[in-house]
Structure 1
Amino acid sequence: MFGAYLGQNHEVTIFTKREEQAQKIKEMGIRLCFQDGEEKVIAVDAKFGDCIISDQDILIVAVKQYDLPQVMTLLSSASKAIPLCFIQNGMGHLELLNILPQKTILVATVEHGAKRLNDWTVSHNGVGQTNVSVYKGTYEMEKSFPMSADPQFPVSFYEEYRTILINKLIANALINPLTVVFQVKNGRLVDNPYYYELLRLMFEEIYSIFPLGEKEEVFNGVIGICKNTKHNTSSMLKDIQEGRKTEIDAILGYILKVAERKGAKLKTIQMAYVMVKGIEQERR
């Protein structure tokens, strides 16, 4: 999705982990589909992932958090002058970023709904925004970060990276596991009063560990996401349905580790974590 939107007014290269996918993208471009049935094809370059990355203005790292260790060698070999931008869920990956040699590292959260349909096609299922902040180094975000000319792909910049990461962590920690446990789309978490009650219980526990901002404002933000993406299937539920590994360790697992360091016990979060791990094992 990033490649499709940025490729409309920038020179974009997609680095893939399979040679066949790189060849398909080079031949076909990226096909971007919308909910109203419209679609467009954007021409971009593509290279197989183990090539040397040396001539990019910025590298956006879009792999799942649990796949980051596999690409650390590739990232370490990239030029130290190339800024890296990480868009993983959760916050467990921050420790990995500290060992990278790059002078500039950004982190970002993505509010869009998207689904890959095949090796060269992505469906944009819900319009949100990308939130970017500097994790390491100096970087003039408003001046240097690549912006799409398409208003469907806005970007906002923040001075404090923890703010955007914790906000996204809270939303992911509530929506993703509960949609897996109940096997429902996002909107059912607020439509069903019993699901909503559990959503609130989990929020209370998480907020006790991450008391960021005004409490009700943070909670209402999560409710707003559920309503705005009511017809969407969460990324974690999609992973379960397709037999893939989930990011539950990077999300609830991370929260439980932080709580343990603070001497707190989060019983509802622990229950949700174990339930998702059990469902994941059954489906895989």
Structure 2
Amino acid sequence: MKYGIIGAGAMGVRYGAMLQENAGVDVDFIETWEPNIEAIREQGGVSIARDHANRHIVPVHVYYPEDYEGHPDVWIIFKKQMQLANELKRDAAAGIFHDDQYVFSAMNGMGHFEKIEKYFSKDQMICGTAMIATRMDGPANIDFMGPVNSEVMHMAPYNNKKPDATMQAIFDDFKAAKLGPVWADDWKGMCMSKVVFNAVCNTLCTMFEIQMGPFIQYDGVRDMAKQLFDEAFDACERAGIHLIESREEETESVITISKEYKYHYPSMYQDFSKGRPTEVDYINGYIAKIGREHDYVCRTHEFVVHEVHLAEKMRQFHQNHNDQANQPAIRQAEAAI
């Protein structure tokens, strides 16, 4: 089958490149970030490394939506939650979506499937989660984190029926690509299991600007994780959402996965460190929203959301402070010119 990747960022490139190189399928990329497109075209592909080593150029086909004339069998969507609605609207206006196409997405957070189903049949949508750490260090510059064959992802039909023949073919391609696919029975419980994990690791690492390895050096991580997980599980249980992992398994996964990806900065931190808005409203905020809708207040998650937004707001003052601190050196440099 032929695949189209919407979003040539960290995860989009990882899926597309692994499908190309390992499964031998045709892949096209749709991108709207101009610096990324121009960098890809200038260097003849995407520069990819794994754990900072063996960097090489992987040739890819990348297009603006308005320039694309292809017809992939499957769309794979990896955009930031805040960008998705406008991205889908632009793609639809460009006429690249068709009734016979399937769509898969394993974006972080929740809220994207409701946006995607405006353009695709529920019977042709596959929900996913990916426990796959990837960094984008700049336009057309990607670093796959974790050893080869460490990739694990889950997928489930959005209609909660059994996978049809096309969905199974997509699964088989993902398996051939060495993306580690596993079928799940219920998409919502599957996705929320990843959301509550991210609500601990992504959010706390971001607030303290640390990698996952140093994060678990603190003896209180298990207690912090348990407090956040207990609230999340309580909210989900009241909403009738049954996560695919237990509270104990989620807590243990914080330790085991952080050890495996000890040098990784979570995606939320990558956004935060570059001055971009984070997805905390779609992670901790989504958990808190579920709680409020079912007469349960997730006080810790609500507080954490405020903390992250406060940190985002404070960046402007750090920048002003740094600019003021550099003024003597700037004036000295100007005087020397």
Same structural fold, with TM-score higher than 0.5 when normalized by the shorter chain: yes
Task: Tell me the amino acid that sits aligned with residue 38 of structure 1.
Answer: N
| Structure 1 unaligned blocks of 5 or more | none
Mapped partners of 1:206, 1:189: distance in 2 = 21
Give 1:78-89 correspondences, 5 Å limit: 78-89=97-108
Mapped partners of 1:150, 1:107: distance in 2 = 18
Q: Which residue does 1:90 correspond to in 2?
A: 109
Q: Which residue does 1:142 correspond to in 2?
A: 168
Distance of aligned partners of 1:156 and 1:277 in 2 relative to their CA distance in 1, 3 Å threshold? same
Which of 57, 66, 71 lines up with 1:55 in the alignment? Answer: 71
Contact 2:229 2:247 in 1 (8 A): no
| Structure 2 unaligned blocks of 5 or more | 1-13, 238-242, 317-337
Paired positions, count: 283
Contact 1:61 1:87 in 2 (8 A): yes
Contact 1:179 1:189 in 2 (8 A): yes
Contact 2:156 2:186 in 1 (8 A): yes
Distance of aligned partners of 1:26 and 1:3 in 2 relative to their CA distance in 1, 3 Å threshold? farther
Mapped partners of 1:150, 1:251: distance in 2 = 28
- CA offset digits 1:66-105 (Å, max 9, x no partner): 1111122245441111111122111222322332244511
Deviation at 1:20, TM superposition (A): 5.2
Deviation at 1:250, TM superposition (A): 0.7
Mapped partners of 1:65, 1:43: distance in 2 = 27
For 1:187, what is the secondary structure of its paired residue?
A: helix
Mapped partners of 1:148, 1:23: distance in 2 = 31
Deviation at 1:227, TM superposition (A): 2.2
Distance of aligned partners of 1:26 and 1:149 in 2 relative to their CA distance in 1, 3 Å threshold? farther
For 2:48, what is the secondary structure of its paired residue?
A: strand
Mapped partners of 1:135, 1:30: distance in 2 = 31
TM-score normalised to the size of structure 2? 0.76
Give the % identical residues.
Answer: 21
For 1:143, what is the secondary structure of its paired residue?
A: helix
Identify the range of structure 1 (202-211 vs 141-150) with the bigger mean alpha-carbon deviation.
Answer: 141-150
Which one has the largest radius of gyration?
Answer: 2
Distance of aligned partners of 1:21 and 1:186 in 2 relative to their CA distance in 1, 3 Å threshold? closer
Contact 2:37 2:62 in 1 (8 A): yes
Task: Tell me the amino acid that sits aligned with residue 13 of structure 1.
Answer: D
Contact 2:197 2:250 in 1 (8 A): no
Q: Which residue does 2:141 correspond to in 1?
A: 121
- CA offset digits 1:145-195 (Å, max 9, x no partner): 4336454x3222223212320111111111111112222221333320234
RMSD: 2.3
Deviation at 1:54, TM superposition (A): 4.8
Deviation at 1:53, TM superposition (A): 5.9
Contact 2:81 2:279 in 1 (8 A): yes
- CA offset digits 1:100-158 (Å, max 9, x no partner): 2445111211111111133222101124322222114863333234336454x322222
Q: Which residue does 2:118 correspond to in 1?
A: 99
Mapped partners of 2:204, 2:54: distance in 1 = 32
Q: Which residue does 1:66 correspond to in 2?
A: 82
Mapped partners of 2:201, 2:68: distance in 1 = 38
